[in-house]
Amino acid sequence: MVSLAEIIVAILFVFAGFLALSLLATLLGFLPAIVAAVIVYLLVRNLIYAGIAFVVVAFLWVLAKHK
């Protein structure tokens, strides 16, 4: 017989797995923006410019995907 605690733990594991896969898919979706931000940071050593590069590339990437 399966106890209520085992069912709750199983549901939590499924939820955690779904959350991890969603996070991974999101990160892979923003991979070009992450790469651009890292390159800008390595070139100028400024987090503000790297953040601006990330936002600009992410915005352009989302626009290009929706057309």
Cβ neighbour number for residue 41 with a 10 Å cutoff: 17
Angle separating helix axes 47-65 and 31-44, nearest 10 degrees? 150
Question: What is the C-alpha to C-alpha distance for residues 47 and 49, in angstroms, rounded to an integer?
Answer: 5
pTM attached to this predicted model: 0.70
Per-residue pLDDT of the chain (67 residues; tens, 9 = 90+): 889 999 999 999 999 999 999 999 988 989 999 999 999 999 999 999 999 999 999 999 989 988 7
CA distance 20 to 38: 23
Note the pLDDT of residue 1: 87
Are 53 and 36 in contact, with CB atoms under 8 Å apart?
A: yes
pLDDT for position 45: 96
